[in-house]
Structure 1
Amino acid sequence: MRRGSKAVALAAGLAIMGLAACDSTALAPRTTEVTPQVRPAAVVKPAAPAPEPGPSAASLDLQRYYARIQKDLLVRGLLRTDGGGPDTQFTDTMLARNFERIALAEEYERGAGLTPSRGDLGAIKKWTKPIRISVEFGPRVPRDQIAEDRAWLAEYAAKLGRITGHPISMGTSGANFHVLFMSEDDKDRIKPRIQQLVPDVNLASLDLFDNLPRSIHCLVIAFSETQGGYEYGEAIAVIRSEHPDLLRRSCIHEEVAQGLGLGNDDPRARPSIFNDDDEFALLTVHDEMLLKILYDPRLRPGMSADEARPIVVERAAELAGAGSS
């Protein structure tokens, strides 16, 4: 982490020139053809700009905590970035089952903050309009992280566009998917910014930002076009800037993909980032297939599991091959 807050103020010095006077008229004529010089203005030394305030003790503590988390996961062989391999084989039947649990089930009750859902299968949730991703950084986010995070997000947005075939791009004009990188010291800005972006946001969804537990590394809230609908029109992801590089990048991958409609986690999904075991840090081949299924144009927002299942099974067989159950 960065050093603690420290403000330095420099007093500005005033240099004032004094002029000596002479009473002897013999030394100078009463009139002269010489125009006197303008008296110089007082010289004021500009104050040096105060250094940027460093992170608070709470933010430093979070940096140390998440650094330990990442180190522990890596030591245990987790946070893989290989996308899966020979040890993570899956069949089309497994892929179709995982799609239902990840795309159709809800992790939390709709409009109820962090209240866990009962796990029932719901309906297809996805975007039909083009997605325009913007990125914002809190004023206390370390400046040396901004270029890196922006580049990662732009690269990932382009990749998601290729995978889904859906128009996904970066830009501030007309943005409807907002990714906010915020530090602990920026947390008072999160709720007002969300309310500014989505004025009719559900208060229960907003209240969870009052005291976000550190066990929640990052999150995304997706908003439907209509009340209780399933066609997304706006999304906001919040990522803690205190994360070390790999955890921060992992948050980008999971939250943006979840904001596309893969909103749940399932312990049986492997290889996948939609699994709380942290085995994988970045989007896997399996997860790419889930996105391809979700953005099949035959799957429409609001379709039930029964309506979607024949299409899901067909696409899973095409993508993963007709394996055994």
Structure 2
Amino acid sequence: MKRNRRLDPRLYRTKASVTVTLAAVMGLVGCASLQPGQPRGSSIAAPRRPAEIVTTDPASVELTAYYTRIQDERVANRLMRTDTGAQEVPVTASRLAETYIQVALREEHARGPLGFGGGADSVLRRWEAPVVYTLEFGPSVGRERRLQDHAQVVRLASRLAQASGHPISTAPLGSTQGNFHVLVLSETERRAAGPRIRAIVPGIDDAAVTLITEMPRETFCLVMAFSRDGSAVYSEAVAIVRAEHPDLTRLACYHEELTQGLGLASDSSQARPSIFNDDQEFALLTDQDLLMLKMHYDPRLRPGMTRSQASTLIFTIASELAAGES
């Protein structure tokens, strides 16, 4: 039997999440590298459907084939699963609490020129205002794809609102009236998106804009959450999703970036079953991910809390949620 070709983990970083103020980048979190390891569990293969490019972008032709090939290889390696994995890894209070701390209260990446803080403890960051997702599509995205993606985000927002208990909704298609902007752009459109990004987030730092416009192809999607007053409370967010992605990869980007932009900002090798793991085993939100989101918006936790301040509460909440799952 022909063996599945393994992927080089150096080639396939999939996403990046950034928490910034309007003056400076505070921390890079959530950028993943594909490290498939041994195949685990089962995966539901998605149709091999290339992205629909309406206004031809020459830069998109090769990228569309590139991302479709990567999705095919991941699915063949039993990655990008669409089940919850709950039967394999039961939720326990300790696992839930420890995974939550790694995902929500830790900086993921090494410190560099933009001030990213890798491995250090972080504070709890989340929204207090209602979150309204708005989808903006470049001319390269056709109407059928726009309708399909908008419907998927509407369903996703409903799940996130139910899990978190926080008001989360999606603006009507074509509206730009929201505070969490999701831009679906081709390569050329994204490179030219600086003026639009500055209009969405007045005062955004040039370095943050460059992270978007110069995003390498190894980064599949990206989200930035902003705090206008430098606090731990988010006021705006911008997510970038490549128009060249095939359906399952694009949907995975929506699930991860729109959730990470709510405050579950880091990936962790300890997170399983979860989309917040660099191994790409799961494409869509799992039950454990939704429980972590519920924890994150529990009123007993507050923005700005440190790990030491929140630790006892985190284990108390995790015990309550794990008991509810049993």
Q: TM-score range by the shorter chain?
A: 0.7 to 0.9
Taking structure 2 as the reference length, what is the TM-score of the superposition? Answer: 0.79
CA distance in 2, matches of 1:109, 1:262: 18
Higher relative contact order (CA 8 A, sep 6+): 2
Q: CA deviation at 1:205?
A: 1.3
Q: Distance in 2 between matches of 1:297 and 1:2?
A: 41
State the secondary structure of the residue aligned to 2:248. Answer: helix
Amino acid at match of 2:295: I
Q: 1:180 aligns to what? A: 183
265, 279, 289: which one aligns with 1:263 = 265
Contact 2:51 2:247 (C-alpha < 8 Å) held by counterparts: no
Q: Deviations over 1:268-290 (max 9, x none)?
A: 11000000100000000010010
TM-score by length of 1: 0.79
What residue in structure 1 maps to residue 8 of structure 2? none
Q: CA deviation at 1:88?
A: 2.1
Residue 202 and residue 130 in structure 1: after superposition, are their counterparts in 2 closer, same or farther (change >3 A)?
same
Identity %: 42
State the partner residue of 1:314. Answer: 316
- Give matches, 1:107-122, under 5 Å: 107-108=108-109, 117-122=117-122
Match of 1:23 in 2: none
When Rg is computed on C-alpha atoms for both structures, the one with the higher figure is 1
Aligned to 1:194: 197
1:105, distance to aligned residue in structure 2 (A): 1.0
- Cα distance, 1:169–1:294 mapped onto 2, change above 3 Å: same
2:81–2:282 Cα contact (<8 Å) kept: yes
Residue equivalent to 1:170? 170
- Where structure 1 has 5 or more consecutive residues not aligned to the other structure, the ranges are 5-51
C-alpha separation in 2, matches of 1:226 and 1:2: 39
Residue 177 of structure 1: CA displacement? Answer: 0.5
Q: Residues 79-228 of structure 1: matches in 2 within 5 Å?
A: 79-108=80-109, 117-171=117-171, 172=175, 174-227=177-230
Which segments of 5 or more consecutive residues in structure 2 lack a partner in the other structure? 1-49
Q: Secondary structure at the residue paired with 2:212?
A: coil
Match of 1:276 among 260, 278, 283: 278
Secondary structure, aligned partner of 1:208: helix
1:301 deviation in Å? 0.7
Q: How far, CA to CA, are the matches of 1:202 and 1:99 in structure 2?
A: 30
| Matched residue count | 273
Between the aligned partners of 1:64 and 1:80, the Cα distance in structure 2 is 21
